[in-house]
């Protein structure tokens, strides 16, 4: 964040200064006191938690394996109820014994649901959901750093993780248990539950988001009645993320889940799904923090296109519409995604989109940022793309030629120039007649362009004069 | 690209013939241009084109064309949405303003929020230009269409349009509008509910009081207990407007239950919003409710478990206290607020402490001299010693409030060490901030105290290793000279500044020049003695410096000093030096010397003559 001191810009004769008095540059009226405090590992706990000040007391219960089988379900319920108690982990000294007791109880519960049979009575369902809700559902605290940048900053870890992890672990085992019956559970795992679960995806703690991903995936798999609702709520989260806040920590995880959901869509695709692609997934490319979820996003897009190739045109047009203008890093990502799309494109679709597509590629190839130019030029190493270009060389070559020709003469980076030569050579071999024609007319084409440019300027000038004239004439009528 | 040859031809044809024919051709051509920038340029000149076309062709050709071609980049659409808001006269005045609705309606459904918001802004603007009849025939149907659109974007846009047409339509249409608003408040996408919640207050203001009580209150209650905190917090904002509209006796039953609930919401964002809007809420609900409800609520917010909330509340401490009913203000502050404030002084979070430090001094005017000395002064002193520099800075920047009540001397014992420590802080931004308060401090502490304790600091900043600090220190000198006068400058500043001209570090030598520039500027004509006798010789001598940067800054300084010199000094002393510099080996030195020579020419005609010959 620190603004570079402007002195460096104002002084351009540093070298002469350095030769005269190299040592005095460090003269400074102040001693340096910048003793950097070692960055503490940050952790946070639920925002809702208000410590009651009183120590928490739980009466220790016998182990499940120590009681006869018929009594186990009853004891299981009791243990679930005990585990509803939430501890303050920001206070590392309070309730140590009880925290340890709850941890071991949770551990026991995890084992119990994994191996036991016949424990899942109907009464257990509401208690399980209640215990999970009490532990995991909480208002996420404000981010520690004002502008949390997931790329730069260390994530804040959840303080109550020792318990939280076990609760998640338990819940997943519960959902995956052979005895688990969605028809009973759906009374408790409802829309409201899912909504709260989705809000947790904003957690800064990547470990928690990872568990949430599995949980949501299981719920999506087992509760058919919730599927549409889950998709819609994810829609809303993404739309808010794109158009309102640009902040949500769990986008990558949600996209990962969607990737496998899309995989399972039936054909023909419903209008709802197509709308999701065009109105939600494509706009996600505009977000500043794209790099954090781009891989997952590109995967989703390609999944869609493999399902339904006719979506290629709207997708590519969408990408072209949101093509990054100033961020080269994003531009490289776009080019990567486009290559993934081209890898699976059908030739008939390619023909529909080739003109706008190669106009953009031609701009990328001539980017002064060598990574962008390089990424675009790598397309010519892709055999499938090469075959598509070859088939359509009469369209593509004229679009690309001017940029390639110009770069081969004036790009600052020798590696790019070398790549461009290869591309030009490839084109020459593909369609030598057209290539020669374009080479011959290159100069006159440029001149014509310049002339057109000049004409345009003149016309605008005339138009302005006209405005001035009319403006004067109608001064009395049109108030300013 | 296919039509490239064509439009160009048509443009030319148009230009040769009827003048009024070609603008639309140019526009269409430019709107299809591949280069976004060119498309953008032509949209930004839309009014030029409309003016050239005349009102009728604008209505019949340009607007339909625009309506049909709204599939462009958001940047272009944004420009278009903005332009159309100012188009009323260009389509023929209020009588025809409804022609602008179709393109704006499309723009109001676009995904990109900024475009949509701009379209709504323009629609709101032109709604005022509709006659009541047109409003019902053209505008209100558009609002209805948007309100029942399929995609959430059009429904969010609709939320912003209800309040502008409501006051000017018939009662049946009014009933419809209220119905639409109700529907959107319970929309199943949170985006729309947020939009509705954010317009709730505005809509309430245009409704008849009975409907506020019947309709708005139930919507307000529902939104304030929405499942999403992003909706609930917007209801808090609406609460201010709604409470202002209702008679005092209804507040308790209609608003307070919801407000109390919001102040204790489980989401810190909602509580933050309550804290942030606290002064407005306080004014809206009046003194009685403030005393009974808001005081304890405020205490809770000051003690909230989230630092964000505490900081927002701490920011409001002064305003809240100021607006308490006067009869028992002091008692409320002393028994309820001050204990919380005392705790915040040693809060664990620095943002909380610094928020408090930025307002706490304001309490002294409210509490008076005795209370300030007894209760507040210890807090000020504690904050002056806080480990976080921002806290100390905030205290120092508000010294004027205390100065009025108890005089600054009470603080000077602690003040000085705090200032010295900030002046030497390792972060240059902190040093920069304290420099900015120097003129203020100098004014309040007086010249004697300043000379004795602070002057050395000010001079030390001039040789800071960060340029921004040296620059600020130079600027600070100027302000000090303005405050204490030229004579003071001559005695205390000038010798030290000129002494630096011989410093081995060229950066310090340049600082001399920068200081001279500002001192000359504020001492001005009456004191040109100092300039001619003391400063000019030093500057001239520095023209022989071996560092080029120093030399070209000499040229720049001479240009600045020129106006206060007499023509003799200019001719005999300045001119030869500049001429010498103009033939320097360094091209920058040459450049600035030539600049200075021609600059001198501009400043006075007598000098022009002399230098030109």
What average pLDDT does chain B have?
85
Element (H, E) at B261: helix B256-263
Of B199, B228, B263, the last residue of a domain is B263
| CA gap A138, B266 in Å, rounded | 9
Q: Which of A306-310, A383-387, B507-511, B563-567 has the lowest mean pLDDT?
A: B563-567
State residue B490's pLDDT score. Answer: 82
What average pLDDT does chain A have?
83
Query: Is residue B613 scored above 50 in pLDDT?
Result: no
3-state secondary structure B311-337: HHHHHCHHHHHHCCCHHHHHHHHHHHH
If asked whether residues B186 and B79 sit together in one domain, one would say no
* Greatest Cα-to-Cα distance within chain B, rounded to the nearest angstrom: 89
Kindly state whether residue B71 falls inside one of the protein's structural domains: yes
pTM (2 decimals)? Answer: 0.79
Q: Which of B95-109, B134-148, B355-369, B385-399 has the lowest mean pLDDT?
A: B385-399
Kindly state whether residue B146 falls inside one of the protein's structural domains: yes
Sign of CA dihedral B164, B166, B168, B173: positive
Kindly state whether residue B507 falls inside one of the protein's structural domains: yes
Sign of CA dihedral A439, A440, A444, A448: negative
Averaged pLDDT, B284-300:
90
If asked whether residues B115 and B150 sit together in one domain, one would say no
Q: Which residue range(s) make up the domain with B63?
A: 1-129
| CA gap A226, A422 in Å, rounded | 54
Residue B419 · residue B454 · CB < 8 Å: yes
If asked whether residues B493 and B593 sit together in one domain, one would say yes
If asked whether residues B140 and B204 sit together in one domain, one would say yes
State residue A20's pLDDT score. Answer: 36
> pLDDT tens-digit profile of B87-140?
998 888 898 999 999 999 999 999 889 999 999 999 999 999 999 999 999 999
| CA gap A51, A57 in Å, rounded | 14
Taking contacts as CB-CB distances below 8 angstroms, the residues of chain B near A398 are none
State residue B54's pLDDT score. Answer: 82
Query: Is residue A1 scored above 70 in pLDDT?
Result: no
Q: How many CB atoms lie within 10 A of CB A68?
A: 6
Kindly state whether residue B54 falls inside one of the protein's structural domains: yes
Query: In total, how many domains does chain B have?
Result: 3
Tokens describing residue B174: 């009014």
Domain segments of chain A as ranges: 225-307, 309-430
- The CATH number assigned to the domain holding B147 equals 1.25.10.10
| CA gap A384, A400 in Å, rounded | 18
| Residue B70: pLDDT band with limits 50, 70, 90 | low
For chain B, percent of residues with pLDDT exceeding 90: 35
Kindly state whether residue B468 falls inside one of the protein's structural domains: no
State residue A282's pLDDT score. Answer: 95
Burial (CB count <10 Å: 0-12, 13-18, 19+), residue A110: buried
Q: Which residue has the tokens 């989703």?
A: A300
Q: Please list, in sequence order, all residues whose beta carbon lies within 8 angstroms of the beta carbon of residue A124, skipping any fewer than 6 positions away.
A: A73, A76, A77, A80
State residue B497's pLDDT score. Answer: 86
Averaged pLDDT, A62-75:
84
> Whole-angstrom distance between the N-terminal and C-terminal Cα of chain A?
44
Averaged pLDDT, B367-389:
86
> Do the chains contact at B52 and A470, CB–CB below 8 Å?
yes
If asked whether residues B604 and B500 sit together in one domain, one would say yes
| Chain B from 364 to 423: CB within 8 A of any A CB | none
> Which stretches of A264-369 are DSSP H helices?
271-276, 294-307, 312-321, 328-344, 347-365
| Residue B26: pLDDT band with limits 50, 70, 90 | low
Kindly state whether residue B144 falls inside one of the protein's structural domains: yes
State residue A469's pLDDT score. Answer: 66
Q: Which of A316-320, B255-259, B397-401 has the lowest mean pLDDT?
A: B397-401
| Residue A52: pLDDT band with limits 50, 70, 90 | low
Query: Is residue B190 scored above 90 in pLDDT?
Result: yes
Q: Which residue has the tokens 């799309």?
A: A341
Q: Which residue has the tokens 């809303």?
A: A236
If asked whether residues B121 and B139 sit together in one domain, one would say no
Q: Which residue has the tokens 């030390």?
A: B460
Cα angle: A162, vertex A164, A170; to 5 degrees: 110
> Do the chains contact at B546 and A20, CB–CB below 8 Å?
yes
> pLDDT tens-digit profile of A331-360?
999 999 999 999 999 999 999 999 999 999
Q: Which of A374-378, A394-398, B411-415 has the lowest mean pLDDT?
A: B411-415
| CA gap B203, A46 in Å, rounded | 36
Taking contacts as CB-CB distances below 8 angstroms, the residues of chain B near A236 are 189-191
State residue A478's pLDDT score. Answer: 43
If asked whether residues B532 and B611 sit together in one domain, one would say yes
| CA gap A284, B484 in Å, rounded | 59
In order, the DSSP letters of B50-97 are HHHH-HHHIIIIIHHHHHHT--S-HHHHHHHHHHHTT-TGGGTSGGGG
| CA gap B132, B248 in Å, rounded | 34
Residue B139 · residue B132 · CB < 8 Å: no
Q: Calculate how close chain B gets to A29, using CA atoms only, in Å.
A: 6
Give the residue with greater pLDDT, B52 vs B498: B498
> Do the chains contact at A47 and B588, CB–CB below 8 Å?
no
β-strand partners of A44: A158
Q: How many CB atoms lie within 10 A of CB A447?
A: 10
Kindly state whether residue B293 falls inside one of the protein's structural domains: no
Q: Please list, in sequence order, all residues whose beta carbon lies within 8 angstroms of the beta carbon of residue A19, skipping any fewer than 6 positions away.
A: none
Taking contacts as CB-CB distances below 8 angstroms, the residues of chain B near A462 are 15
Give the residue with greater pLDDT, B291 vs B565: B291
> pLDDT tens-digit profile of A87-143?
888 777 778 888 889 999 999 999 888 887 777 888 889 999 999 999 999 888 887
If asked whether residues B558 and B603 sit together in one domain, one would say yes
Element (H, E) at B269: helix B268-276
ipTM, two decimals: 0.78
| Residue A473: pLDDT band with limits 50, 70, 90 | low
For chain A, percent of residues with pLDDT exceeding 70: 84
Closest CA to B386 of B420, B347, B412: B347
Kindly state whether residue B431 falls inside one of the protein's structural domains: no
| Chain B from 423 to 482: CB within 8 A of any A CB | 424-429, 460-461, 463-468, 470-471
State residue A31's pLDDT score. Answer: 33
Query: Is residue B611 scored above 70 in pLDDT?
Result: no
If asked whether residues B71 and B153 sit together in one domain, one would say no
Which range, B3-12, B162-171, B394-403, B410-419, has the best average confidence (pLDDT)? Answer: B162-171
State residue B19's pLDDT score. Answer: 52
Residue B398 · residue B362 · CB < 8 Å: yes
Tokens describing residue A111: 């084992």
Give the residue with greater pLDDT, B342 vs A460: B342
> pLDDT tens-digit profile of B234-258?
999 999 999 999 988 888 889 999 9
Of B232, B263, B294, the last residue of a domain is B263
> Do the chains contact at B267 and A139, CB–CB below 8 Å?
yes
| CA gap B611, B85 in Å, rounded | 56
β-strand partners of A158: A44
| Residue B321 to residues B76, B79, B282, B362, B376, Cα–Cα distance (Å) | 49, 46, 10, 10, 14
Partner-chain residue, chosen from B51, B191, B429, that has the shortest CB–CB distance to A471: B51
If asked whether residues B61 and B143 sit together in one domain, one would say no
Tokens describing residue A288: 């500043």
Tokens describing residue A447: 């001149």
């Amino acid at each position: 964040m620190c603004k570079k001191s402007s002195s460096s810009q104002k002084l351009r004769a540093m070298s002469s200064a350095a030769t005269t008095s190299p040592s005095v540059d460090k003269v400074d009226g102040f001693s340096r006191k910048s003793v950097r405090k070692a960055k503490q590992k940050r952790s946070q706990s639920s925002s809702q938690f208000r410590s009651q000040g009183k120590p928490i007391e739980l009466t220790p219960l016998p182990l499940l394996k120590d009681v006869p089988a018929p009594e186990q379900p009853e004891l299981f319920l009791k243990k679930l109820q005990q585990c509803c108690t939430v501890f303050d982990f920001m206070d590392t000294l309070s309730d140590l014994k009880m925290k340890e007791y709850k941890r071991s109880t949770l551990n026991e519960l995890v084992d119990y649901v994994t191996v036991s049979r016949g424990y899942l009575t109907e009464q257990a369902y509401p208690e399980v959901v209640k215990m999970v809700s009490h532990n995991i559902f909480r208002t996420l605290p404000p981010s520690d750093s004002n502008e949390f940048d997931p790329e730069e900053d260390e994530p804040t870890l959840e303080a109550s993780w020792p318990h939280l992890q076990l609760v998640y672990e338990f819940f997943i085992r519960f959902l995956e248990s052979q005895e688990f019956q969605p028809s009973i559970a759906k009374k408790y795992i409802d829309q409201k539950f899912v909504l709260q679960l989705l809000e947790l995806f904003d957690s800064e703690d990547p470990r928690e988001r990872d568990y949430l991903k599995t949980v949501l995936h299981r719920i999506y798999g087992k509760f058919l009645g919730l599927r549409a609702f889950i998709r819609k709520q994810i829609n809303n989260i993404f739309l808010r993320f794109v158009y309102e806040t640009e902040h949500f920590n769990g986008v990558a995880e949600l996209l990962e889940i969607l990737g496998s959901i899309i995989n399972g869509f039936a054909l023909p695709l419903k209008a709802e799904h197509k709308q999701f692609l065009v109105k939600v997934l494509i706009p996600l490319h505009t977000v500043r923090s794209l790099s954090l979820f781009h891989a997952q996003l590109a995967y989703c897009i390609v999944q869609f296109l493999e399902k339904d190739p006719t979506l290629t045109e709207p997708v590519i047009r969408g990408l072209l519409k949101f093509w990054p203008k100033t961020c080269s890093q994003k531009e490289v990502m776009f080019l990567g995604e486009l290559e993934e799309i081209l890898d699976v494109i059908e030739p008939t679709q390619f023909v529909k989109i080739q003109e706008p597509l190669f106009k953009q590629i031609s701009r990328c190839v001539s980017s002064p940022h060598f990574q962008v130019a390089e990424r675009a030029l790598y397309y010519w190493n892709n055999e499938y793309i090469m075959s598509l270009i070859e088939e359509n060389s009469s369209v593509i070559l004229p679009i690309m030629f001017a940029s390639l020709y110009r770069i081969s003469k004036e790009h600052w980076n020798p590696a790019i120039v070398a790549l461009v030569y290869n591309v030009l050579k490839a084109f020459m071999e593909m369609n030598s007649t057209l290539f020669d024609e374009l080479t011959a007319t290159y100069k006159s084409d440029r001149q014509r362009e310049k002339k057109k440019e000049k004409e345009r300027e003149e016309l605008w000038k005339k138009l302005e004069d006209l405005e001035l004239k009319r403006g004067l004439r109608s001064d009395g009528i049109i108030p300013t | 690209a296919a039509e490239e040859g064509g439009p160009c031809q048509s443009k030319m044809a148009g230009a040769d013939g009827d003048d009024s024919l070609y603008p639309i051709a140019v526009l269409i051509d430019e709107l299809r241009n591949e280069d976004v920038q060119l498309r953008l340029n032509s949209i930004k000149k839309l009014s030029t084109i409309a003016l050239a076309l005349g009102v009728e062709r604008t209505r019949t050709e340009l607007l339909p064309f625009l309506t049909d071609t709204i599939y462009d980049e958001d940047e272009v659409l944004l420009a278009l949405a903005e332009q159309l808001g100012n188009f009323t006269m260009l389509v023929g005045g209020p009588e025809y303003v409804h022609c602008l609705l179709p393109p704006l309606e499309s723009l109001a459904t676009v995904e990109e929020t900024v475009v949509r918001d701009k379209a709504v802004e323009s629609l709101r603007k032109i709604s005022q230009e509709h006659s009541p009849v047109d409003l019902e025939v053209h505008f209100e149907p558009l609002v209805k269409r948007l309100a029942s659109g399929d995609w959430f974007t059009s429904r969010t846009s609709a939320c912003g349009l209800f309040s502008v047409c409501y006051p000017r339509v018939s009662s049946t249409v009014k009933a419809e509008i209220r119905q639409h608003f109700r529907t959107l408040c319970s929309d199943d996408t949170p985006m729309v509910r947020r939009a509705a919640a954010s317009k709730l207050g505005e809509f309430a203001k245009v409704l008849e009081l009975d409907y506020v009580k019947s309709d708005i209150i139930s919507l307000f209650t529902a939104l304030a207990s929405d499942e999403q905190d992003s909706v609930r917090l917007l209801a808090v904002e609406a609460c201010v407007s709604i409470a202002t509209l209702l008679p005092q006796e209804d507040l308790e039953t209609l608003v307070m239950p919801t407000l109390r609930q919001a102040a204790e919401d489980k989401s810190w964002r909602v509580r933050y919003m309550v804290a942030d809007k606290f002064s407005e809420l306080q004014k809206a609900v009046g003194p009685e409710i403030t005393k009974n409800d808001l005081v304890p609520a405020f205490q809770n917010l000051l003690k909230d478990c989230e630092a964000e909330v505490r900081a927002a509340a701490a920011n409001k401490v002064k305003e809240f206290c100021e607006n308490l009913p006067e009869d028992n203000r002091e008692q409320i502050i002393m028994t309820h607020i001050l204990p919380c404030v005392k705790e915040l002084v040693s809060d664990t979070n620095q943002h909380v402490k610094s928020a408090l430090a930025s307002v706490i001094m304001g309490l002294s005017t409210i509490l008076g001299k005795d209370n300030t000395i007894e209760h507040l002064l210890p807090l000020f002193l504690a904050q002056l010693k806080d480990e976080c520099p921002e806290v100390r800075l905030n205290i120092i920047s508000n010294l004027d409030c205390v100065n009025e009540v108890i005089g600054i001397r009470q603080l000077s014992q602690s003040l000085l060490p705090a200032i010295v420590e900030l002046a030497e802080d390792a972060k240059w931004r902190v040093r920069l901030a304290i420099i900015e308060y120097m003129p203020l401090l100098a004014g309040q502490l007086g010249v004697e105290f300043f000379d004795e304790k602070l002057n050395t600091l000010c001079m030390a900043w001039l040789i800071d290793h960060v340029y921004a600090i040296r620059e600020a220190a130079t600027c600070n000198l100027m302000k000090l000279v303005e405050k204490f006068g030229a004579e003071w400058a001559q005695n205390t500043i000038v010798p030290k500044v000129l002494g630096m001209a011989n410093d081995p570090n060229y950066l310090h030598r340049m600082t001399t020049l920068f200081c001279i520039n500002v001192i000359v500027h504020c001492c001005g004509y009456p004191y040109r003695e100092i300039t001619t006798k003391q400063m000019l010789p030093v500057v001239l001598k520095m023209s022989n410096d071996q560092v080029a940067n120093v030399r070209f800054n000499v040229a720049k300084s001479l240009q600045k000093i020129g106006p206060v010199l007499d023509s003799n000094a200019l001719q005999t002393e300045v001119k030869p030096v500049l001429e010498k510099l103009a033939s320097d080996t360094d091209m920058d030195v040459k450049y600035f010397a030539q600049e200075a020579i021609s600059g001198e020419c501009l400043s006075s005609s007598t000098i022009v003559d002399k230098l030109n010959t």
